[in-house]
Amino acid sequence: MTHPSIDVLLSETRNFPPSEDFKAKANSRDASVYETAARDPEKFWEKWAKELKWDNPWKTTLDWKPPHAQWFKEGKLNACVNCVDRHVLDEKGGEHARSKKKALIWEGEPGDTRTLTYGDLYREVNRFANVLKKIGLQKGDRVAVYMPMTPEAVIACLACARLGLVHSVVFGGFSAESLRDRINDAEARALITADFGWRRGKRIELKKAADEALQGTASIEKVIVYRRDEKEPVCTMKSGRDLWWHEEMQKAAEFTAPVSCHAEDMLFTLYTSGTTGKPKGIVHTTGGYLTGVYATTKWVFDMRDEDVYWCTADIGWITGHSYVIYGPLSNGATVFIYEGSPDWPEKDRFWRLIEKYKVTIFYTAPTAIRAFMKWGTDWVKRCDLSSLRLLGSVGEPINPEAWIWYQEQIGGSRCPVVDTWWQTETGAIMVTPLPGLTTTKPGSATRAFPGIAAEILNEEGQIVKAGGGFMAITKPWPSMLRTIFNDDARYQQTYWSKWQGRFYFAGDGAHRDEEGYFWFMGRVDDVMNVAGHRIGTMEVESALVDHPSVAEAAVVGKPHDIKGQALVAFVTVKEGVATSAALAEVLKQHAAKKIGAIAKPDDIIFTADLPKTRSGKIMRRLLRDIAEGKALGDTTTLADAAVVESLKQKYAGTEE
């Protein structure tokens, strides 16, 4: 798929106003909120923050010393209390009605199931917090989490939050080396992992990867290992370092007092790809983050007590943090989580799950939607999806065709579709329809959430009212990243240098139509988006260059029908190395081994030279044009124009 051009997008005439029924009952029904929030965003956010449970009130809503924000700074609260205790204990310490409500409904890939009420979750989290406390962890310590999608992944994060420990979740699909780098950067003292998880019928041996990672880390003192299947634990344990989750839980105390945290205490760090080789630890703090995810969950997903909500993201990504854990649980919602792949054992697995658990709200990524489209509607039609009442999309631009398919085939033309734009850095949804208020247009994420100052700016930082430019946020918002872990200079450079500290630079290109709706066009930097996952050009290049045969590599994204983008690597080999299809395969595997399967290039193109400027910079733009099969743009700055021509011919030769 080539994402439609802006001209095609803007000629989209279909639009979908909210139904009368939805409008009448929606959590957000008053359109004047956009204006009132814009007039006084601090007041708007303060109102939301007051819906959370605080131990101490704040005095200053916002302290803004660009580019550093502090929200609710004198306030104290605990994120775990807000997600769990508050639904279990009432104000007087008695039992809250929600304690018997389902908090987590889980299904593992092989079909094993578990349900935890809020009361159950409270007990598990308390016990596990005690386990963490007993190994000597203290407020502010970092804890790495490398888990399959099980209730224990959620419990691990919440137990950290209960003690003021900073979790650093590493996606289970990342390699041992990626895990090692993240542990080292965060200087994590403990690692929480599992012996294995299931994916497409295969065991993903997390502990084995963890053991490999730990050979290169000095900071980890203890490893807690969750046993995924008691009948067949599959790992070795290192005595003195490794502890079994289930054994420690048996010995742990029933109650662990929550640690009252400052609003600006770190809640977690999460690594994300940028334009340079090393992923950066995005820092989120407690009060503002929780306020942002709480508010957006309630309004964007229209969350209600009777909903069964399913966000398909893994907790290894920000979507899992904000919209599997903190947003829905702070709302007291019932959250469904599934461990495995959508096509296992059959391509109807998701629809069977929706039918079985009567899921009402479903949130997934365009890449998944495009795969479902390709698999065909027969898989969908055999399941009863009538429980659904709202659909969400996130992670990359959604093409109108996929949007319409989603709305018709999955939503039965009955459910509003919310296309939500946001980032690891923004913490919470920033641009989105409000399902009871916004008339949607397929392919547009529509408007900024109330209280969010989103604009398109030109190179000079002037507002583009209608037209194209750079996506920017012009005022601080509660859930914004506070810095990059241990690298504030990089924080300032990456997000705030483009317009001299005045506005937040998101790295996305976008367009605004006459009505002010946003249309996102993809990244404008060297970050690629493969199947909704962010991956840096330089990260993959470093992985390739690490191979002994490779002299130089340049990686670009090319349009892909399902994944949105796929990776193409242009590689020059070292003197004396013979290129072959076998070597290409070896290099693909090498990238996957170094980073994780998401970093595996689809194509490797060997070339004697890479197109460079006279100052020696690789011209990725030209490589992108070649990979996209486009006419070549301006080549006048090239040191050697012949390189490009021969590459172009070579690339054409690889296409079938």
Binding residues (CB under 6 A) for ligand 7RM: these are: 272, 317-319, 394-397, 419-424, 445, 506-508, 520, 523, 529, 534
In whole angstroms, the minimum distance from the beta carbon of 173 to ligand 7RM comes to: 14
Single-letter amino acid code for the residue at 253: A
Retrieve residue 154's tokens: 């959620």
Phi, psi of 241 (to 5 degrees): -115, -45
| The two three-digit tokens of residue 29, written as one number | 């029904």
**Nearer Cβ to ligand 7RM (108/172):** 172
Query: Rounded to the nearest whole angstrom, what is the least distance from the CB of residue 637 to ligand 7RM in the complex?
Result: 27
Residue with smaller CB distance to ligand 7RM, 202 or 621: 621
Q: What's the min distance (Å) between Cβ of 321 and ligand 7RM?
A: 10
For residue 633, CA distances in Å to 98, 249, 496, 644 come to 61, 62, 30, 11
Name which of 256 and 444 has its Cβ closer to ligand 7RM: 444
The residue among 165 and 369 lying less far from ligand 7RM, judged by its C-beta, is 369
Query: Distance between alpha carbon 592 and the CA centroid of its chain, in Å?
Result: 20
Q: Write the CA distances from 398 to 362, 364, 531, 563, integer angstroms.
A: 16, 11, 12, 11
> How far apart, in whole angstroms, are the C-alpha atoms of residue 37 and residue 45?
8
Dihedral pair phi/psi, residue 178, rounded to 5°: -60, -40
Q: Is the Cβ of residue 273 or residue 334 nearer to ligand 7RM in the bound state?
A: 273
> At closest approach, how far in Å is the CB of 429 from ligand 7RM?
8
What is the chain's alpha carbon radius of gyration, rounded to the nearest angstrom? Answer: 24
For residue 362, give both structure tokens: 């479903």
User: Residue 273: CB partners within 8 Å, gap ≥ 6?
Assistant: 279, 527, 534, 535, 536, 539
Least Å from the CB of residue 272 to ligand 7RM: 5
Which is nearer to ligand 7RM, 118 or 421 (by Cβ)?
421
**Residue with smaller CB distance to ligand 7RM, 41 or 274:** 274
Q: For ligand 7RM, give the closer residue by CB, 128 or 518.
A: 518
In angstroms, give the least distance from the CB of 16 to ligand 7RM: 16
In the complex, the smallest distance separating the C-beta of residue 426 from ligand 7RM, rounded to whole angstroms, is 8
What letter represents residue 527's amino acid?
A: V
Alpha helices in 321-390 (DSSP H): 327-330, 349-357, 366-375, 378-381
- Closest distance to ligand 7RM from the beta carbon of 76 (Å): 29
Neighbours of 13 (CB within 10 A): 7
Other CB atoms within a 10 A radius of the CB of residue 250 amount to 10
Q: How far is the CB of 558 from ligand 7RM (least distance, A)?
A: 16
The closest alpha carbon to 285, from 275, 276, 293, belongs to: 293
Residue 84 or residue 311: which is nearer to ligand 7RM going by CB? 311
HSE toward the beta carbon, residue 237, CA cutoff 13 A: 17
For ligand 7RM, the closer of residues 406 and 651 by Cβ is: 406
- Quick one: tokens of 106? 């889980």
In terms of CB distance, is 126 or 440 closer to ligand 7RM? 440
Closest CA to 542 of 281, 279, 277: 277
Beta carbon nearer to ligand 7RM, 291 or 479:
479
466-491: b (≥16 Cβ within 10 Å) or e = eeebbbbbebbbbbbbbbbbebeebb
The alpha carbon dihedral of 524, 530, 532, 536 has a sign of negative
Q: What are the residues whose beta carbons fall under 8 Å from the beta carbon of 649, sequence distance 6 or more?
A: none
Shortest Cβ 533–ligand 7RM spacing (Å): 7
Q: Considering the complex, what minimum distance in angstroms separates the CB of residue 277 from ligand 7RM?
A: 17
Question: What separation in angstroms does the CA of 646 have from each of 169, 255, 588, 634, 654?
Answer: 44, 68, 23, 16, 13
Q: Give the shortest CB-431-to-ligand 7RM separation in angstroms.
A: 7
